[in-house]
Amino acid sequence: MAYSSIVYLLPFLGAVLLLYNGMPKKYRWCVLLLASYVFYWLNSPSTLVFLLLATAAVYFAGIFLNKIQDGFELSKKALDKEGKKKLRGVVGWQKKAVCACTFLFVFGLLAFLKYYPFFSENINHFLGLFTEKHMLPQLKLIQPLGISYYTLQAAGYIIDVYRGKYRADKHIGKVALFLSFFPQIVEGPIARFDQTAGQLMEGNRTTYKNLTWGAQLILWGLFKKMVVADRANPFVAEVFGNYTENSGAVLLMGGILFTVQIYMEFSGCMDIVIGSAQLFGVDLPKNFARPFFADSVNDFWRRWHITLGAWLRDYVFYSVSLSKGFGKLSKKAKEKLSPFLGALIPSAAALFCVWFCNGIWHGAGWKYLAYGMYYYLIMLLGMLLEPLFAKTAACVHLNRDSGGFHVVRVLRTCVLVVGGMTLFRAESVGAFGEIMLRIFTDFAPGSIVDGTLLHLGIDGWDFIAIAGGCIVVLIVSMIQEKGYSLRETVAGQNIVLRWAVYFALIFAVVIFGAYGPGYDQVAFIYGQF
């Protein structure tokens, strides 16, 4: 049941909304929890057990952490300063042990179910060089729906409790609903417990504003997904599927259109997800902030898949870079090498961990690891060369804050992002190499205008619909980037104008959306992670 399917949007969402509002306020969270488990069961019945296991593990681990902390607070009253310090050390180790066991379990499930086939294949390949015995068995494992998302939410919850950001919740229903809330279970956004759990339990009635604003956002998401992303999909599949037969220019077009497709699809899905949650008065964290206006790769990742970036920043980047080990190393490097390198070492090491995790989070395969390393190298080079860039700019009297230079930076970022997306979509790292080779050695620009593009899965009308959809999204994004809220503006208009906008969107989806004969329903790309 995809979020863009009629089954989800009408019977499922409609029934949940009716049941939710028909129930007394204090039981409404039960409707959401039941709906979430029904949604999960309908989509992936055999893997529901893993979600339940992860929920139970973090719930009991959280309660245990509370107990350890409470015991410490009680015992420390009777101790002197030295005794408190000693006890704090013991308690610290106990809490670390609870976290380690919980991570071993939840990340162990993720590692085994998602990465075992990749590891066993590669280890067997390596062992095969020496012997044919002791091979790891090849297992056909089902990857549980949304495991990459709910595992991060679960781990974030435990880390926050460990760090003392908040106490673990005693209400198992609250923890269960936080981890399983149906709009976000498949593709995120990856929320924090203190962001959404309270709202989910409030059980506020659906207001007119929530209903209309939620529906607007769902409609906007459908527009992006069905008019642009799903129309671009056959072209992208054809170009990347037969990359050895296409010219460099066509492959470049494929890379650009895939970038457009994945943005429209993922951000469109987030609009549907956030809109669905809004119907129940729940504000989910945003996952996109007009990423193609970014003027650096770092800025791009602050605007693209925001909640994953924030998770990795808070729980991986700061944990590594601010660790005592790197603190000491940095101090030594400052004294013996240079202050610049001393300051750089913890960031560079932590950044490596972040991009390693980001890469493998996206999938079990070398190309995903290469994808992470691609961004790591760009960011590392940016950090290393920044003093040189600043000196060069000063020498040639280049104003790095000028509008013209900003445009150049935005375009440079877009080129780097298309490169990364091409690697992401390519069959393998080898295929990406071949695609790049063709772009640089067999570009054949004529293939863009000689009609070749019209024989690659989509026709001229599809291109017009994609271009039209992109222009609409670009205009809306430009307005938002200027700081205006288009939704507030539309909501402030009279009923005729307001509904004219809504109907225009509905008709655009119905008329220009990719569905019916000739179009397969396209699964959300990020739902497969």
Query: Site residues (CB under 8 A) for other proteins?
Result: 163-165, 298-299, 302, 313-314, 317-319, 321-322, 327, 330-331, 342-344, 346-347, 350-351, 383
Q: State the DSSP string of 130-160.
A: T-SSSPPPP---PPPTTHHHHHHHHHHHHHH
Closest approach, Cβ 326 to other proteins, in A, equals 9
Q: Of 246 and 321, which has the nearer Cβ to other proteins? A: 321
What are the strands, taking DSSP E only, across 60-197?
Answer: none
Q: Are 238 and 457 in contact (CB under 8 A)?
A: yes
Q: Are 379 and 298 in contact (CB under 8 A)?
A: yes
Q: Of 188 and 346, which has the nearer Cβ to other proteins? A: 346
Q: Of 409 and 498, which has the nearer Cβ to other proteins? A: 409
Closest approach, Cβ 40 to other proteins, in A, equals 32
List the structure tokens of 46.
Answer: 């055999």
Q: Are 364 and 114 in contact (CB under 8 A)?
A: yes
User: Taking Cα atoms as reference points, which of 266, 190, 207 lies closest to residue 424?
Assistant: 266
Angle at 375 between CA 335 and CA 246, to 5 degrees: 150
Cis peptide before 24, with omega less than 30 degrees from 0?
A: no
Handedness of CA 431, 363, 186, 294 (dihedral sign): negative
Closest approach, Cβ 69 to other proteins, in A, equals 14
Closest approach, Cβ 401 to other proteins, in A, equals 10
Closest approach, Cβ 368 to other proteins, in A, equals 22
390: exposed, middle or buried (C-beta count within 10 Å: 0-12, 13-18, 19+)?
Answer: exposed
Q: Are 372 and 358 in contact (CB under 8 A)?
A: yes
In angstroms, rounded to a whole number, what is the distance separating the alpha carbons of residues 132 and 476?
59
User: Taking Cα atoms as reference points, which of 160, 150, 148 lies closest to residue 37?
Assistant: 150
CA atoms within 13 A on the CB side of 416: 23
Q: Of 52 and 343, which has the nearer Cβ to other proteins? A: 343
Closest approach, Cβ 409 to other proteins, in A, equals 13
Q: Of 75 and 296, which has the nearer Cβ to other proteins? A: 296
Q: Of 343 and 431, which has the nearer Cβ to other proteins? A: 343
Closest approach, Cβ 276 to other proteins, in A, equals 28
Q: Of 163 and 209, which has the nearer Cβ to other proteins? A: 163
Q: Of 25 and 165, which has the nearer Cβ to other proteins? A: 165
Q: Residue 117 corresponds to which amino acid?
A: P
Q: Of 191 and 257, which has the nearer Cβ to other proteins? A: 191
Cα-atom radius of gyration of the chain, to the nearest Å? Answer: 25
Closest approach, Cβ 419 to other proteins, in A, equals 22
Closest approach, Cβ 318 to other proteins, in A, equals 4
In angstroms, rounded to a whole number, what is the distance separating the alpha carbons of residues 167 and 279?
29
